[in-house]
């Protein structure tokens, strides 16, 4: 650890001065929310970010949104049994920061206001066929970008995404609201 900051305004200055390999970011911070900070960071100075969030519905939704903005991973804060939970949090955070250090995020490109839909050739027989997609850390943004471009007539798609159970339902709901295809958690 090369530094800490009590809020995003100070964090911005410390990032410039210390140039960390990985940033851990709490979603709930004073002076600016973590998602706004992450959006600005990824546009101006992309770096691997591990988000720390509560495992509540609001925290889960925010963590999924952070992944869509370019965070490479997340760690859930313990809600109960703080002493034992903090030990687990520390071990998980160290492991995820080490993995995140290998990521090489790029500046986020602005997507067109209405991305063009992919087309499915009607002559293509999809009866009895399923498209399978596997994604891991960092795959949330790519899945979201790809699935939102599919037409409602797309064949069945099975997605496996490395993500804690509490996060998958939130991710599925967000995708379902954004996509022409129906998205459900299995």
Tell me the CATH number at 175: 3.40.50.180
Radius of gyration of the chain (CA): 18
Higher per-residue pLDDT: 82 or 147:
147
Mean pLDDT of the chain: 82
Span 129-155, average pLDDT: 83
Question: Are residues 185 and 122 located together in one domain of the fold?
Answer: yes
Choose the final residue of a domain: 65, 80, 100. Answer: 100
The partner residues of 74 in beta bridges, in order of sequence, read 51
Number of domains in the chain: 2
What angle separates helix 139-147 from helix 165-178, to the nearest 10 degrees?
30
Please tell me the distance from the alpha carbon of residue 108 to that of residue 72, in angstroms, as a whole number: 13
Residue 135 and residue 92 share a domain: no
For 24, the 3-state DSSP assignment is strand
Question: Which uninterrupted H or E stretch holds 132?
Answer: strand 131-135
The lowest-confidence range among 1-10, 22-31, 53-62, 141-150 is 53-62
50 domain residue, yes or no: yes
First to last CA, the chain: 39
Q: What is the CATH number of the domain that holds 27?
A: 3.40.50.2300
Q: What is the pTM of this model?
A: 0.66
Residues spanned by the domain of 130: 111-186
Pair (94, 139) in one structural domain: no
Residue 1 placed within a domain: no
The answer to whether position 93 is within a domain reads: yes
> In whole angstroms, what is the distance from residue 68 CA to residue 77 CA?
20
Phi-psi region of 70 (alpha: psi -120 to 50; beta: other; left: phi over 0): left
Tell me how far apart the alpha carbons of residues 89 and 75 are, in angstroms, rounded to a whole number: 7
Burial of 70 (0-12, 13-18, 19+ CB in 10 A): buried
Q: Is the pLDDT of residue 37 over 90?
A: yes
Query: Contact, 10 vs 37, CB < 8 A?
Result: no
Higher pLDDT, residue 127 or 184: 184
Indicate if 22 and 93 belong to the same structural domain: yes
Select from 65, 100, 135 the last residue of a domain: 100
């Amino acid at each position: 650890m090369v530094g800490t900051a009590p809020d995003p305004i100070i964090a911005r200055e410390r990032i410039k001065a210390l140039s960390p390999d990985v940033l851990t970011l709490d979603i709930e911070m004073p002076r600016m929310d973590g998602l706004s900070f992450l959006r600005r960071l990824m546009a101006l100075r992309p770096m691997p970010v591990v988000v720390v969030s509560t495992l509540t519905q609001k925290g889960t939704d925010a963590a999924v949104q952070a992944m869509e903005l370019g965070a490479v991973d997340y760690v859930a804060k313990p809600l109960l049994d703080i002493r034992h939970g903090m030990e687990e949090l520390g071990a998980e955070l160290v492991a995820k920061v080490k993995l995140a250090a290998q990521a090489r995020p790029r500046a986020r490109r602005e997507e067109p206001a209405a991305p063009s839909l992919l087309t499915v050739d009607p002559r293509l027989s999809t009866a009895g066929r399923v498209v399978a997609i596997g994604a891991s850390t960092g795959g949330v943004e790519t899945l979201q970008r790809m699935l939102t471009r599919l037409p409602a007539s797309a064949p069945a798609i099975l997605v496996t995404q490395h993500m804690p159970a509490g996060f998958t339902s939130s991710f599925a709901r967000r995708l379902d609201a954004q996509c022409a295809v129906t998205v459900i958690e299995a």
